[in-house]
Amino acid sequence: MLTVVIQAGGTSSRMGEDKALKPFLGRPLIQRVIERLTPIADEMIVTTNRPADYEFLNMRLVADLKPGRGALGGLYTAIASAAFPFVAVVACDMPFASPMLIEGARRLMVEEEADVVIVKTEAGYEPFHALYRRETCLPAIESAMDADQWKVIAWFPQVKTRALSSVEIKSLDPSGLCFWNLNTPEEFLEAERRASEQ
């Protein structure tokens, strides 16, 4: 059973406006992300500290449970709010978010009894398009926050983390676009162009 959490908590400083609500091919970007992932979700949640802006989605909206704790606090909120044991956390600004990659991650999580299934590139981990096991990740994140740690992956040594290989990523996300998050108006235009070609 899978909860999908879309995180719409960022400041969008480089965009100059709320990325999640910016029109993408004629509708708010967050709507595209939700529609891509709805088919695999048993539960769908949006985390936001501006719920009034997202009421039009008619979905469960959750504000930060630990305000002021940055990205780690946002991840805690996502996992703590989930009703189901497997929690996919995805940023709202990823127009090519991949249901196939999340499904593949869930299979691995079950087969290998992993607590986190995540992609690691040269730039580091991708915690906002990853899968978490609620039961083990929640206490590990809480202990990291209690120890005043702020890095979003500070708690990884406490759990069994399974990084996807480049071969696995390519088979699950052949386009190679699922981790592309949009930060500038130029990236928006380029992503719209690519999406309209698909």
Task: Find, among 158, 140, 40, 17, the residue nearest to 88 by Cα.
Answer: 40
- CA dist list (Å): 110 to 2, 43, 86, 106, 198: 12, 19, 10, 6, 32
What's residue 59's pLDDT? 95
Q: Is the pLDDT of residue 193 over 70?
A: yes
Per-residue pLDDT reduced to its tens digit, 87-109: 999 999 999 999 999 999 999 99
Per-residue pLDDT reduced to its tens digit, 140-161: 999 999 999 999 999 999 999 9
Q: Does the reported pTM lie above 0.85?
A: yes
At residue 68, what are phi and psi to the nearest 5 degrees?
80, 10
What percentage of the chain reaches a pLDDT higher than 70?
A: 96
What's residue 121's pLDDT? 84
What's residue 87's pLDDT? 98
Domain 2-197 has CATH 3.90.550.10: yes
Read off the pLDDT of each residue in 39-45 and give the average, rounded to a whole number. Answer: 98
Give the model's confidence band at 166: pLDDT under 50 very low, under 70 low, under 90 confident, else very high: confident
Q: Hey, is 16 helix, strand or coil?
A: coil
Say how far apart CA 117 and CA 107 lie, in whole Å: 10
